[in-house]
A = this chain, B = another copy of it.
Amino acid sequence: MNLDEYLTYRRELVDKALDDMLPRDDNDATVLNEAMRYSVFAGGKRIRPILAMSAAEVVGAKPESVLPLAVALECVHTYSLIHDDLPAMDNDDVRRGKPTSHKVFGEALAILAGDALLSFAFSVLSSPGAERVYRPDRLLKVVGELAAASGPAKLIAGQVADISCEGKAVDEATVEFIVQNKTAALIRASLTCGATLAGGTREQIEILGTFGELLGTVFQIRDDLLDLEGDAAKLGKAVRKDQDRGKATFPRLLGKEKAKELMRRRLEAALETLKPLGQTAEPLARIGEYVGSRMS
């Protein structure tokens, strides 16, 4: 398989679905719709939507068949970025190569655009008509997993720990907690929800969940290494900022080499996890390798 073509085809599917589904200027909330679209279309690799589509393919469905889920995942991810970048949080001015939402639209609208994207994600999964395409029990399970992954026990718990540990001496368990909750939970949910919506078996869903959890760490360590070593132009965001701020990351805790070693071990374990799925999981394995070696 050609990984570039594979990713490009699916990214284009997601981008078109996002453009089709996100609200347009058909009501009085023009500037809100603009703010939502600005951050969603400011770039992004669409990793989570692609993982959901690949998981659906593993269980025998077409990538197009889980597009509402793909859209919901990207909305939740973008909402989390908008809020993370706020002055009260990480106070970041640039993201995906563009000024962050609050720099363009002001703080109030950035908060509200994030809020709107979160609600909208759940709308997409439950809009009238969805239950004619998907089994209601599966949609409900997907809503539940997405709500849990983005909620107080996962994404937000991770973000709270991330902020409160800034500049402090932390241990490995704390960094693991942050990575698992802030990053891995939504990546895991992308895979399990994709497989669930497409009718995967419990065994398939469990394997994909374990893969997603391991891949989440790979993704985060690679992200942290890019903050240390990466090219700001390619990354579309400032580098060495997390380092300067004293963020609790594996590279900061263990040093770059040991963090790379941990990333490699998690990637190997992730690839090993996929073996029972056979040939159908090859794209996921290739995405895993890409996530661990990407330059942006």
* Residues of A that sit less than 8 Å from B by CB: 23, 27-29, 31-33, 36, 83, 86, 88-89, 106-109, 111-112, 114-120, 122-123, 125-128, 130-131, 136-137, 139-141, 143-144, 146-148, 150-153, 155-157, 159-161, 163-164, 177
**Are B29 and A152 in touch, CB under 8 angstroms?**
yes
Our pick among B29, B111, B152, B156 for the contact of A83 (Cβ within 8 Å) is B111
For the complex, give the distance between the alpha carbons of A137 and B130 in Å.
10
**Are B88 and A28 in touch, CB under 8 angstroms?**
no
For the complex, give the distance between the alpha carbons of A114 and B159 in Å.
13
Pick the most buried of A86, A122, A136, A161: most chain B CB atoms within 10 A of its CB: A122
**Are A31 and B164 in touch, CB under 8 angstroms?**
yes
Chain B residues, Cβ within 8 Å of A160: 29, 31-32, 109, 112
> Measured between C-beta atoms, what is the minimum distance from A79 to chain B in Å?
8
Pick the most buried of A32, A33, A116, A156: most chain B CB atoms within 10 A of its CB: A156
**Are B118 and A119 in touch, CB under 8 angstroms?**
yes
- Smallest Cβ-Cβ distance to A158: which chain B residue: B29
